[in-house]
Amino acid sequence: MGVEIVVNDLSKSFGKQLIWGDVSLTIPAGEICVMLGPSGTGKSVFLKTLIGLLKPDKGSILIEGTDIASCSERDLYEIRKLFGVLFQDGAMFGSMNLYDNVAFPLREHTKKSESEVRAIVMEKMDLVGLLGAEDKLPGEISGGMRKRAGLARALVLDPEIVLFDEPDSGLDPVRTAFLNQLIIDLNAQIDATFLIVTHDVNTARTVPDNIGLLYHRHLAMFGPREQLLSSEEPVVRQFLNAQRVGPIGMSEEKDADELASEEGQELPPLPPIPLQQEPSNGIPRRSQRPPGEWCKEHGITPPPGSFETSNAGLAPGA
C-alpha cells in the first residue's frame, strides 16, 4: 500500500550555509514522486534528511504519526525499516558478489535462515532482471547492472517507501529508459511510495505522478505532473523544458543585468504534455490518473498536442 510522508516547514543548513528552507509537501502513499533540481540544490541532503541520516534545523517529517526530525534513536531505527534506498552509485560492497550484497540487509536485520534468505534474494534478483548474475562482483558489471543490484538490495526488506538518488546518473538514454520502465513496473507490483531524485527532465516529464522542484534554497513548486508541465511559473517552466531563457543561470540565478537583457525575448510555447509511461503489462498503476484529468479538473487548457500517443515524451531542447 505504501506510506505517506508529510513534510512541514523543513529547513537544513550546514554551518551558516542554508541548503533549503521552509520546505512543505505531502508525498502521497503509493504514488511516484520526482524531486528535480539543479546539481548542488540539496536533493541528496533532502533524501538523507527524510531517512533521519541528517537532522533538519527546524520543521517536521511525519511518517505513520512519528516525527523523524525529533523522535528517539530507537523510534528512528524502527521507522527506517520502512525504507529502501537506492544510493547514487549503488553503494555495493566491492569485495562481495551480488548475491551477498543483496542478502546483506536480511542477514543484518532479520533472523531468517539461509534458505529463506536465498528465496528472497533470488526473487528480488528476478524482479530487477539480474537472475544468473549472482556470482558477479560489482566491479565486473556495468553501471546499469550495478543500479539494478542496488535496487534489488533496497527491496529485500519489503519497504513501504523506496527512495532513489539519481537512478539515471551515468546511464545512457537507452539504459535510463529501461530503468525508468523497471521503476514503473516495480511500483505497480509492490505498491510502495516512490521518491526519485533526479535532474533528468525527461524522466520527470514521463515517469511520476507528482513533481517537485528544488531551486535557490527553497521548494519552487510541488504538485501533480500535469500541474508543473502546464505551469507558466518562470523557474518551473525553464527547468522542465530545459531552456536557457529564464531566471536560472549557468551557475546560480541570473543577475538583474542578465535578466534585463532577456526582456522582450519571446519564450517558446510550452511543449505538449506527454502521456505518462505505463507498466509494461499495459495495466495502469493504482495511483495513475487518466491523462488530462488534472488539467480538466482545474480548468487548464494543456498545450496543443498534449496526451497524444505520438508524443513519446522527449522535451524539445532536452
229 SS3 class? helix
Measured CA distances, 313 to 112, 168, 244, 271 (Å): 44, 16, 20, 10
**Bridge partners for 92 per DSSP:** none
* Residue 44 in the binding site for ligand ADP (CB under 6 A): yes
Does residue 212 interact with ligand ADP by CB under 6 A? Answer: no
- Cα-to-chain-centroid distance, residue 269: 27
- The Cα 159–Cα 86 span in angstroms is 12
Can you name the residues that pair with 34 across neighbouring β-strands?
196, 211
Interface with ligand ADP includes 198 (CB under 6 A)?
A: no
φ/ψ (deg, to 5) at 135: -85, -5
Main-chain dihedrals φ then ψ at residue 122, nearest 5 degrees: -65, -40
Pick the stretch among 38-46, 75-83, 140-148, 260-268 that binds Mg ion (CB under 5 A).
38-46
Our finding on whether 41 is near ligand ADP (CB under 6 A) is yes
Q: Binder to ligand ADP among 7, 25, 33, 45 (CB under 6 A)?
A: 45
Q: Does 14 bind ligand ADP (CB under 6 A)?
A: yes
> Which stretch, 38-46, 65-73, 105-113, 236-244, contacts ligand ADP (CB under 6 A)?
38-46
* 52 lies in the binding site for ligand ADP (CB under 6 A): no
Told to check if 40 binds ligand ADP by CB under 6 A, we report yes
Q: What share of the chain is helix, strand, coil (3-state, %, to 5)?
A: 35, 20, 45
Does 121 bind ligand ADP (CB under 6 A)? Our answer is: no
Measured between alpha carbons, how far is residue 154 from residues 121, 230, 311 in Å? 11, 34, 33
Pick from 13, 26, 44, 311 the residue near Mg ion by CB under 5 A: 44
The strand pairing partners of 156, in sequence order, are: none
Supply the minimum distance, in Å, between the C-beta of residue 214 and Mg ion: 11
Rounded to whole angstroms, how far apart are CA atoms 315 and 242? 8
* Count of residues that interact with Mg ion, criterion CB under 5 A: 1
Q: Residue 57, interface with ligand ADP (CB under 6 A)?
A: no
Number of residues that bind ligand ADP (CB under 6 A): 10
CB of 217 to ligand ADP, least distance (A): 10
Least distance (Å) between residue 261 CB and ligand ADP? 28
Q: By C-beta, is 239 or 294 nearer to ligand ADP?
A: 239
Report the Cα 293 to chain-centroid distance in Å: 23
CB 148 within 8 A of CB 112: no
The distance in angstroms from the start CA to the end CA of the chain is 34
Decide the pairing of beta strands 17-27 and 5-14: antiparallel
Indicate which of ligand ADP, Mg ion, none lies near residue 45 (CB less than 5 to 8 Å, by partner kind).
ligand ADP
17-32 per-residue burial string, b: 16 or more CB within 10 A, e: under 16? eebbbebebebbbbbb
Among 19, 86, 154, 163, which residue interacts with ligand ADP (rule: CB under 6 A)? 19
Selection from 52, 74, 48 nearest residue 63 by Cα: 52
Q: Which one among 7, 31, 36, 43 touches ligand ADP, defined by CB under 6 A?
A: 43
Q: Which is nearer to ligand ADP, 23 or 156 (CB)?
A: 23
Nearer to ligand ADP, 48 or 124 (CB): 48
Give the one residue of 37, 56, 59, 144 binding ligand ADP; rule: CB under 6 A: 37
> CA-CA distance, 179 to 145, in Å (whole number)?
10
How far apart are CB 259 and ligand ADP at their closest, in Å?
A: 24
Binding residues for ligand ADP, rule: CB under 6 A, are: 14, 19, 37, 39-45
Binding residues for Mg ion, rule: CB under 5 A, are: 44
